[in-house]
Amino acid sequence: MARIQKTALQSGINVITEEMPDVESCSIGIWVHTGSRNEDREVNGISHFIEHLLFKGTEKRSALDISREIESVGGILNAFTSREYTCFYVKVLKKDLPLAIDLLSDIFINSKFDENEMEREKLVVLQEIKMVEDTPDDLIHDLFAERFWKDHPLGWSILGPAATIKSIKRSNIINYYKDHYLTDRVFVTAAGGLKHKDIVKHLQPSIGKIKISKKKNSLKKPASAPGLQLFKKDLEQVHLCLGVPVTPQSHDDRYKTYLMNTILGGGMSSRLFQEIREKRGLAYSVYTYLNLCMDAGSLIAYAGTSKDSFAEVLELIMKEYAELHKNITEDELKNAKEQLKGGMLLGLETSENRMTKLARDEIYFKRVISVKEIVEGIDSVTMKEMRQLAKKLLAPERMTLVAMGKVTNKDLPKSLKFLN
């Protein structure tokens, strides 16, 4: 019997599971291929707000009942919203799976969106927005996305602006929920000590009977906006992001992009960490990361440093970007491959990560990408391919710089004056 199986429920909603016989836990998630990039400006933040509201009570459970019921078996019930999808998930011991499915299905299908609860939860979300605004090493990434994907929903805050959250009405919530959540964009993934047939059986009476509609997930294609934006703020550090556009999540070049990110700033042995932190002590936190979407992507370097070191840190990042295609070594590429494969395999030992991988495969590839295929994809990348891609992607004219702190244009290094 295959470890990974897929079945369409009576409603048409797909259920994808992976059986992990030696694992005591089970993780199951209801996924909606809708995120903040599907929103209009007038309701920016509504997907994240709906995520909160689904935990605020159903016809048969209060918010407290929901919390007590999952905690009474030591389980975890949570949710998250991204730019391209939303997930509501639960993790429990396998013996408690029927309870978990009943609870998860109930909050997804039968949430009341009570007016009073909604007004109280607005206050919670507004505090969450303030928390990000008071945390510069979080805020800088939102500011970067907004400048990088200029005038496109991919650059908007997932939380939304405070003014928008305050103005959202219950009718907005109900209409958006019907149009974006009760559609054929919904699917379920589960992994752990489970049986596929049991998951399908427990979901059929609830999720299997949802009346879903077919909605085209029409997305405006984004384009990056090279350039510069500085945010003057009274901070002890300068926080900066320097990024370039890269290929989308499902592109054939993705393994090369993963490796490029790993070599540049994907750990303590990476180039930026060694050059900026270890050799010069110019930053405590310095790294790169990838933001790969359906039809676009970005590779971003982040650092937090002093105003006096701002120009030097930028010069060092630029130097590594510029020289990667010329001086990458066979040992460096080999080590990056092993780091990627090892990190992936270690991560996939947990049921929640296996559940998430099934979902991301469904969203971005419409099929299961086996671990074997990923390993082979990483191993197949050649030195020549890495050099060619690095030269193409890390060109200065493709860069966007966003910085926040006590900095002005005068603090920029000469090599970046062209961004003005």
**Are 79 and 158 contacting, i.e. CB atoms less than 8 angstroms apart?**
no
Q: Which residue among the candidates 18, 39, 51, 332 is catalytic per the annotation?
A: 51
Tokens for 269, please give them.
Answer: 């042995």
Distances (CA, A) of 80 to 48, 85, 88, 144, 259: 8, 9, 7, 21, 27
Asked about 59 being catalytic, the answer comes back as no
Residues 122 and 165: beta-carbon distance below 8 Å = yes
Strands 4-8 and 25-32: unpaired
Report which residue type is found at 328.
I
SS3 92: strand
DSSP secondary structure of 252-268: TTHHHHHHHHHHHHSST
Contacts 24+ apart (CB under 8 A), 364-369: 364/249, 364/250, 364/294, 365/250, 368/4, 368/16
Q: To which residue do tokens 């197949």 refer?
A: 380
- Distance, first Cα to last Cα, the chain: 60
Q: Is the dihedral of CA 180, 185, 191, 193 positive or negative?
A: positive
Q: Name the pairing type of β-strands 86-93 and 25-32.
A: antiparallel
Q: Which of 6, 168, 156, 11 shows the shortest CA–CA distance to 81?
A: 156
Identify which of 401, 374, 197, 185 has the alpha carbon closest to the alpha carbon of residue 300.
401
| C-beta of residue 180 within 8 angstroms of C-beta of residue 218 | no
Q: Name the residues annotated as catalytic.
A: 51
